């Protein structure tokens, strides 16, 4: 089996294509808000949403009927050409690689709006070969169109094979920006017994042990507390590890029950705590939830700043509020402080909130 030299990894895959990035920028992307470019009413709202959400994504794949595929593609081109996105990133989700529409997606979008398009989301990625295919085509199209910066690739984990190959997917190209969990398609591919789009399931639980009766034996008729578990904990954790290993970014995907904002916030927070940097938004109400959840709290930032200030050169250990903080604690705190600084650059309200934090002496 032949292998490409490591020296070639960061060389353009086409003559005249832009130089691949050696490090993926850490741009805030708390909410990736999906919109249908073929829906005129929805498209008309996009300019007003700029600056209110970190990422706007023109969706061309699932949820777009076959009869509307061309209209969605053309609608995205029109929106991109007519809109100044300012601090908001523009992404798109192209059609699946085995579909009859994907080649037209790429050959239309890159020449027309490639300079504005930050990331292309690729659905149902099975392995590194899928990334290699898109990588080469993008390089050829960028070279032909004179695009000056590489368009990045974001893969969706929607199949069991994709999850099994997550490491090779993350390392398949310098263009790799990140991964998202696609719980609905993944559940179907795994033959999981749930019809929910993300979130937990009341049947996936653990139950506390039966209390002991007067005879010292378990009272199996007694009422026992139950604790619903997270169906997606393993997959998200595996995805986070793979992304961290390769210097790219993990995201939770869709939460389908728009009305259940409490459960939505719980799922988003689980993903945030595990290491995800953002999530999808299927409705404007979810943007607010994502922006809140994926922004460190005032309490967390206040504590993190105290630790950073107290640790000095990062060696040794200190006691803060009765808890030991050492170099590992400092690394954890720096993750939050650096994230807060990045978010404050694009979110004036959040900046004012973080600036108002008083950091007492350790």
Q: Rounded to two decimals, what is the model's pTM?
A: 0.89
- The pLDDT, as a whole number, for residue 360 is 60
Instruction: Report which of 228, 178, 172, 169 is spatially closest to residue 202, judged by C-alpha positions.
Output: 228
Q: What is the pLDDT of residues 278-296, one digit of tens each?
A: 999 999 999 999 999 999 8
Reply yes or no on whether the pLDDT at 5 is more than 80: no
Rg (CA), the chain: 23
Reply yes or no on whether the pLDDT at 67 is more than 80: yes
**Percentage above 90 pLDDT, the chain:** 73
For residue 185, say whether it is annotated as part of any ligand binding site. Answer: yes
Q: What is the pLDDT of residues 164-177, one digit of tens each?
A: 999 999 999 999 99
Instruction: Report which of 290, 184, 286, 293 is spatially closest to residue 235, judged by C-alpha positions.
Output: 184
Q: What is the pLDDT of residues 19-57, one digit of tens each?
A: 999 999 889 999 999 999 999 999 999 999 999 999 999
Taking the CB of residue 300, how many other CB atoms lie within 10 A of it? 15
Helix (H) or strand (E) holding 57: strand 55-59
- The pLDDT, as a whole number, for residue 318 is 87
Q: What is the pLDDT of residues 303-343, one digit of tens each?
A: 888 888 888 778 888 888 888 888 888 888 888 888 888 88
Q: What is the pLDDT of residues 204-217, one digit of tens each?
A: 889 999 999 999 99
Q: What is the pLDDT of residues 211-265, one digit of tens each?
A: 999 999 999 999 999 998 889 999 999 999 999 999 999 999 999 999 999 999 9
Per the prediction, the chain carries an average pLDDT of: 93
Beta strands in 138-272 (DSSP E): 152-157, 176-181, 205-207, 226-228, 249-251
Mean pLDDT of 196-206: 87
Residue ranges of domains in the chain, CATH in brackets = 6-202+227-294 (3.20.20.60), 299-355 (no CATH)
For residue 149, say whether it is annotated as part of any ligand binding site. Answer: no
For residue 93, say whether it is annotated as part of any ligand binding site. Answer: yes
Residue 272, CA distances (Å) to 12, 84, 293 in order: 34, 30, 7
């Amino acid at each position: 089996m032949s292998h490409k030299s490591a020296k070639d990894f960061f060389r353009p895959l086409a003559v005249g294509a832009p130089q691949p990035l050696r490090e993926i920028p850490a741009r805030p992307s708390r909410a990736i808000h999906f919109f249908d470019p073929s829906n005129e009413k929805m498209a008309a709202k996009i300019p007003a949403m700029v600056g209110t959400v970190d990422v706007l994504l023109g969706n061309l794949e699932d949820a777009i009927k076959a009869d509307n595929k061309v209209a969605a593609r053309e609608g995205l081109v029109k929106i991109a050409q007519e809109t100044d996105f300012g601090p908001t990133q523009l992404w798109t989700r192209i059609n699946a690689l085995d579909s009859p529409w994907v080649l037209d997606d790429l050959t239309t979008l890159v020449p027309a709006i490639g300079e504005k398009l930050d990331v292309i989301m690729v659905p149902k990625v099975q392995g590194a070969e899928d990334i290699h295919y898109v990588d080469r085509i993008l390089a050829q199209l960028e070279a032909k169109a004179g695009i000056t910066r590489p368009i990045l690739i974001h893969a969706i984990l929607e199949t069991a094979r994709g999850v099994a190959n997550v490491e090779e997917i993350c390392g398949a190209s310098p263009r790799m920006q990140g991964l998202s969990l696609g719980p609905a398609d993944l559940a179907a591919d795994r033959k999981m017994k749930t019809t929910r789009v993300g979130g937990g399931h009341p049947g996936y639980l653990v139950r506390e042990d039966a209390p002991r009766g007067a005879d010292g034996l378990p009272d199996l008729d007694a009422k026992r507390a139950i604790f619903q578990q997270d169906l997606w904990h393993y997959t998200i954790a595996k995805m986070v590890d793979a992304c961290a290993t390769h210097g790219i970014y993990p995201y939770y995907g869709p939460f389908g029950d728009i009305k259940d904002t409490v459960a939505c916030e719980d799922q988003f927070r689980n993903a945030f705590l595990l290491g995800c940097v953002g999530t999808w938004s299927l409705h404007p109400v979810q943007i607010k939830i994502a922006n809140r959840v994926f922004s460190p709290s005032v309490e967390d930032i206040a504590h993190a700043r105290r630790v950073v200030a107290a640790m000095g050169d990062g060696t040794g250990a200190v006691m803060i509020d009765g808890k030991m903080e050492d170099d590992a604690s400092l690394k954890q705190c720096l993750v939050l402080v650096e994230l807060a600084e990045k978010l404050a650059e694009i979110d004036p309200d959040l900046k004012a909130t973080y600036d108002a934090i008083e950091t007492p002496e350790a």
